[in-house]
Structure 1
Amino acid sequence: MSAQEVNTWRSKSEVTTVGTAVPNPILKFEQAPFHANTITLLKQNFSSPSVIQSQSWPLALSGRDMVASAATGSGKTLGFLLPAFEHIKNNTPANSGYRRGGPLALILAPTRELAQQIQAECNKFSSSYGIRNACLFGGQGNRYEQTAQLSRDPQILIATPGRLSDFLASRKTSLSNISYLVLDEADRMLEMGFEEHIREIVNQISTDRQTLMWSATWPKSVESLAKDYFKDYIRVNIGSMELSANPNIKQNVLYCSTNEKLKMLQDHLLSHPNSKTLVFCQTKRNCEEVGLQIGQLTRGTIPMATLHGDKTQQQRNNILEDFRANILKVVFATDVAARGLDVSDIETVINYDFPSNIETYVHRIGRTARAGKKGQAISYFTDQDASQAKDLAEVLKKAGQPVPEAIANLMTQKNRSGSNNSRSQNNNRSGSSNPYGGKPLFNANNSTNYSNYGNNRNSSNYGNNRNSSNSNYRGRDNRTSHNIFDDFPDLKSDFNPFR
């Protein structure tokens, strides 16, 4: 490609690069030096490389350090995985086989879900290279299996920072051979408090390495990490260099009071019962409370579940699997699902609780409108969220979306007379009473039932046993809609949460 052709492509594709000697993009799979079987597999799944793949592949293959920003669902995982395969092939002596002592490539990810999704892609595309991998993430009951994976001498290690630190401390693995390092969703890892773990891990890796970092945003913490651990890196950005939302997402911001939100959500879900919807709540407790109440209000007519950090790994896997398979239509989630959630056809994201910062807002709504599809985001915005009004308005404007009059007013009038005290009382979740009025939702008897949602699908516990003949859920080959009241028989009686 000529310099003019490259510039035209980058301008049309909204690709911005910062750095020297940036290689030309790869626009066709045949132009990439990957294994022939890998090229065939790519063609079977995609028509052409995605924009981020086109620019990241030649950069990663050149051995340069890189910091890249691209939307979720843009193909970024293969953007660093396929070059990793080539790196391992080219750095393993042909006649000596893989030398023991630890993996050659390390991929750090913020959550177990994202780590598992990376491993799934790795398994799908690595067979032609004969490359083994191990995936390390937190949770009870999985340490033995992960130790077994490490005993098979993997060349690629995929891990969350905390669990990898544990294995390093117990000397179950070593990073002495690592020469290809990937920090996936680095901004999210830093938001989750993993900076100390990341620095401890990176300090154990030789400086003679290639480092790739993927980050949706560019806060000072990410910039500091890049300055400390990258050398002569190239920054690649797809779209605006500033924080922005996907323009394919229709953003609806509804100004309301706290005690109006439940009824608004009920009305929306009942009017769109077949729409795949992800509902975000700020806390695990509220996630459970809202999910339970909506289940009661909709009389179990919409299959739904809750997803947060207190779920076991098996529960989380089952819920995500059934959400992908359209068995579940609604999932209530905390921000554990906001990044790395690999469900491609979510139609609507609802911010039941508006997040505490605008970066999280953009990450949340980015779960819809993936891979060029359209989607919508609905956000319930209260007076308590007034501090986010200005940033929200900027995101709306950049995406070509109208700014509601109420949000514009809150930008200059953050405190509405007489509202703060009442809202503070409405939002108080520290007591045992139902914050929406009526019966207490949580006690020693019923909170256990609902927290088990995800383990056993035999009518009382939704989750592990997928073949029970005594349940509405009758296994993978004989499914019917799940009635949430079968999980909570003590709640089948009439219940009015507003009473």
Structure 2
Amino acid sequence: MHTQLRKPPSKSSLSLSHIRFLGRAMAKGDDALRKKKSKATRKKNRQKESSSSSVSNRIAAIIAAKKRRQSGKRRNCQGMCFSLPTLEDPFNERCGTVDLKKKETKKLVPSKVDRGVAINGNSVASRKRTRGNHAIADHQEKEMVKVKNLGNARTLSLASIDNVGQKNVVKLGKTKIQLIGETGAACAQHGQAFEYSGCPSKFLILCLNSIQTALVQDGFFNTEEDKPLFVDTWGIEFWKSYSVGKDILETSGACSTVKQIAWMASTAADTIVRKEKEGLLLTSPFLLFLVPSQEKAIKVRSACKPLKALGIHTVSLHPGASIDHQIHGLKSCEPEFLVSTPERLLELLSLKAIDISGVSLLVIDGLETILQDGYLDMIKSIRQSISVSPHAVVFNDSLSYASHRVVQNLLGKSISRLSFNDSVTSQGACIIQSIHMCSSEEEKLLKGIKVLDQACGDQLCMQLSKVLFIVGKDCNIQELVTAIKSKGYFVSINSGYTSNSEIENSKSGPVVFVVDLEHVNTSDLGEFEVVIVSDFAHSIDNYVHMLTRMARYTVSGALHSLLTAEDAMLAGPLIEILEKCGQGVPEALRNLCHSTCMLEH
């Protein structure tokens, strides 16, 4: 059987559909080959670029920058390709970028060397002049660069705490307040700006955090148990009083703690930075911290040491080191903070190794120990060496009468008391308590007028001084008011809120407020410097209330009490309070207490 071979169809016999199918198949094959070849080429090129991508990118960047320079289309964020540090940008942070919107002119603050800090009687500036004008110019230029570097370092430190400041500080906004009267005079005297900020600055918080970090590393601070330094209640109250220019009396009965030292040092550092921004010159140490012993000096310096990274240098002077070594050290550095014992500081002052005439903040710690060691005359000499009127902070841990006089000489007229110890001893510190024994109610009236004359006689030049006269239920107020007015005083009855204009218009002398005992608990006694009590109403609680609430803004408080034999029940508790506060107890009061005890037995 023969197999018949089938011939391929002729071209003429192919249908139109077959021709179209063959054409599409042939075209798809060509595209696939072409795509496969292109993919292999791209893969090969990528492998070549990956081996030399860094060089290619660098060269491309250079070429692109060159084209932009040539075409004049350089970007604002791009300066020169390679820029050098300048006085305005010593750390080359902006990489040559110029702020086109605002260009501030910064003041150049001359260094302390150019101002001539006196050491051994010869100023540095006088020695510099002998080297020729060119040497002086070169030196000034170097010092300006140094000051600029320091200022930028502090600026960098401020920028590093943006998150901390936003989390920990409530921004209340700055409000300017006009301070009048004694407070305004105190601010002007201390050279402070009349501006009160609602919260501490970021730089102050940075200083506190730096000290806290160092304390944690040394094991003196526990972040789990202790509250952060920036929320310390004492520190916030200290900063408020310092900001309005008031001297501060600390009456807790102990020396300064590490937290208190941290707040004082940080506040002083913040003030230094503000003064430098204003272009003010610091010719001597800003903070002088007087301590009673070498151990305390080391403790204070250790607390201030973390601030050195922020441009605040602390020097400790005490008998533990040779005086020659300390003189050499003072010549080679210019400390912002000075911690010293009184005797060593006087030795250095006598040798003219240091100048403290421009000290702005004076802190005296451990007043009782200073008085016991006989440093009182040294404190007076040191205070006289300061030509300006500095802020003063006194930690009064003494109950003796001598400490009252010392505190009055060290602090100004307007002060702020800081103490979170609610004891009678702490709250009644530096208030003189006087007991006057009388035989009858008539003698009480005469004795009260006499005490009033004596108290106001020392303050006759102070027209606005306030005196409080407290009377009981049985007292004839009208008779008392008539007697007081006959002496030429201005009298206000049962009112602690007399307007200043009414007081100023009065030409009758000091103001005397007469208040009955029922209104004592509701009256504000903080502004009264002299309080005269004619009746206790057989309750010692009223006496404690007046002692712990009066004279909150002065160190010249005086509490006078008029007693008769009818107040014998108060003699014992009153003697106990006087002894706790270190006050003298009159013999007549002891006899009255002794007679009362005999009657009870």
Whether these two folds match at TM > 0.5 is no
Q: Could you state the TM-score of these two structures normalised by the residue count of structure 2?
A: 0.33
Q: Could you state the TM-score of these two structures normalised by the residue count of structure 1?
A: 0.40
